[in-house]
Every structure is written in structure tokens, then in C-alpha cells.
């Protein structure tokens, strides 16, 4: 059969022949492209359950594959390989290896909520994207993404003080990810900023990096947040390990 939608097929599964003669019939040229047949055997039957255990993934089972999420997606408009509907499909089928082909881009979801806005089944696909990228990291498929570093830095500060201080977030984030702070565009931005700031405000902002903004009596909140997170991590560990044992 001629293949008109080659873009939908993985290139390595396409077989092309310059000249091909089958049973004395010349099928060279357009007619000589074939898709390699294959059968998938390496299912991870637990995949959907694993992913639903990560923050944001709870409703993945509701998806009925309408495609509205991908259709509306901000990142898909820039990069057609970014395809939430397809990833949800693979996760539900247990096709882990197939999913791993896109492991480098899944974290790039910008949380614009277009997908969750239009999803007719309340899957909250935006959350599923976050769950997928955390799952990739937890299973050792990818290192922590930049975005995950950012989330963790943010969470740590809130956990400690109840508030964040943006300057500290930026500095620590650049440190964690090993990026230089002296990039030309950053320098120009800071210059623009300083030019306009009244001295008193600069002084106040300087102080806030010394005396971090804090929510008073935060320790009980800190405790109960930590407790919840620990419990969740344990649950997740069990689900992931349960799978590895079987």
C-alpha cells in the first residue's frame, strides 16, 4: 500500500526500495514504500496507575481521546511533536518505550491551561503533563528538568518561611542549574530596573534579601505540609516498586 501520511510513521519503520519486483510485477517508485510490521510485547501494564500517582495525574483514566487538548495546545503550535493526547493514549495503553521517545520535551508544557479549559472529560491534561515529567524523573528516564528544579526551589522556600523572595529564587535557581547570571539580556534588564528605582525602595529590597519575608507562626504549617508530602511519596514508592517486583 502506498503511504501518503509518512509523517505519522516513525522513520525507522518505513521501508523504501528504489526498485522492487514482486512476483514479476514491478512496484518500483511510489508504490514501493512499506511499513514494517511489528508486534509490541513490552507493555508496562501498570503505567497508567504509576502516572496517576504523581501530582496532577489523578484523572488520566477519564480520557476518551477527542484530541481537543492537543488542538488547543500552546506548545503544540510551536512544536508539532508536543502531543498531550498521544502521550495520554500511550500511557493508558502501557506503551512505555513509545512514550520515552518524547521524554526530552514533555516537561516543556507551559501550564497555559488551554487543554484543561477545553477537555470535555475533566482529565486536567495540564496536570497529566506535570505528572508525566515527574514520573520520567522518578523512573530515572530523565534527569530533573529545569522546570522541576524551579518547582523545588520554590517549594523549599515556601516550606521554610511561608513566603518567597524572588531574588533568592532566581539566584538559587541559576545556581542549581549551573547557568551564569551574567547574560547580556539579564544585565540589561537589571540596569533598566535600577535606573528607575527610588533609593528607598532599593534599600528596602536589599533588606528583604537579608531579612527574608516570613509568615509568622509557620512551623505547624510546615510540619503538616511535610507530613502530607512524606505520605504521598511513600504511596508513590509502593506503586512504583510493586510494579518493578512483578
Report DSSP state, residue 215: -
Task: Candidates 3, 93, 100, 170: give the one binding another protein (CB under 8 A).
Answer: 170
185 binds ligand SF4 (CB under 6 A): no
Of 81-89, 151-159, 172-180, 199-207, the window that binds ligand SF4 (rule: CB under 6 A) is 81-89
Q: CA torsion, points 158, 162, 167, 168, in degrees to nearest 10? A: -50
The neighbour count for residue 220, using CB atoms within 10 Å, is 8
**Rg from Cα positions in the chain:** 24
237, three cell numbers: 514508592
Residue 155 phi/psi, 5-degree rounding, is -60, -45
- Judge contact between 153 and 172, C-beta under 8 A: yes
In the complex, minimum distance from the CB of residue 236 to ligand SF4, in angstroms, rounded to a whole number: 22
> Where along the sequence are the contacts to another protein (CB under 8 A)?
55-56, 74-75, 78, 108, 110-114, 116-117, 122, 124, 127, 130, 134, 145-152, 154-155, 158, 162-167, 170, 173-174, 177, 184-185, 188-189, 192-193, 196-198, 201, 205, 208, 213, 215-218, 220-221, 223-225, 227-229, 232
Q: Rule CB under 6 A: which residues touch ligand SF4?
A: 63-69, 72-75, 84-85, 88, 109-115, 119-121, 123, 125-126, 129
Amino acid at each position: 500500500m502506498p503511504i501518503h501520511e509518512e509523517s505519522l510513521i516513525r522513520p525507522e519503520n518505513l521501508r523504501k526500495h528504489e526498485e522492487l519486483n514482486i512476483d514479476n510485477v514491478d512496484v518500483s517508485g511510489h508504490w514501493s514504500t512499506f511499513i514494517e510490521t511489528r508486534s509490541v510485547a513490552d507493555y508496562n501494564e501498570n503505567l497508567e496507575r504509576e502516572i496517576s500517582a504523581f501530582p496532577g495525574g489523578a484523572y488520566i483514566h477519564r480520557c476518551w481521546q477527542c484530541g481537543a487538548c492537543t488542538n488547543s495546545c500552546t506548545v503544540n503550535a510551536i512544536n508539532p511533536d508536543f502531543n498531550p493526547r498521544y502521550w495520554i493514549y500511550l500511557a493508558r495503553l502501557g506503551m512505555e518505550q513509545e512514550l520515552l521517545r518524547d521524554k526530552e520535551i514533555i516537561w516543556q508544557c507551559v501550564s497555559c491551561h488551554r487543554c484543561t479549559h477545553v477537555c470535555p472529560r475533566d482529565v486536567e491534561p495540564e496536570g497529566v503533563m506535570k505528572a508525566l515529567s515527574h514520573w520520567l524523573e522518578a523512573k530515572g528516564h530523565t534527569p530533573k528538568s529545569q522546570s522541576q528544579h524551579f518547582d523545588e526551589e520554590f517549594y523549599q522556600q515556601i516550606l521554610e518561611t511561608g513566603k518567597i523572595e524572588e531574588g533568592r529564587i532566581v539566584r538559587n535557581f541559576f545556581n542549581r542549574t549551573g547557568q551564569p547570571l551574567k547574560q547580556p539580556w539579564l544585565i540589561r534588564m537589571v540596569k533598566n530596573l535600577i535606573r528607575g528605582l527610588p533609593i528607598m525602595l532599593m534599600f528596602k529590597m536589599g533588606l528583604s534579601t537579608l531579612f527574608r519575608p516570613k509568615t509568622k507562626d509557620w512551623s505547624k504549617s510546615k510540619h503538616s505540609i511535610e507530613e502530607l508530602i512524606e505520605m504521598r511519596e511513600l504511596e508513590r514508592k509502593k506503586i512504583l516498586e510493586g510494579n518493578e517486583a512483578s
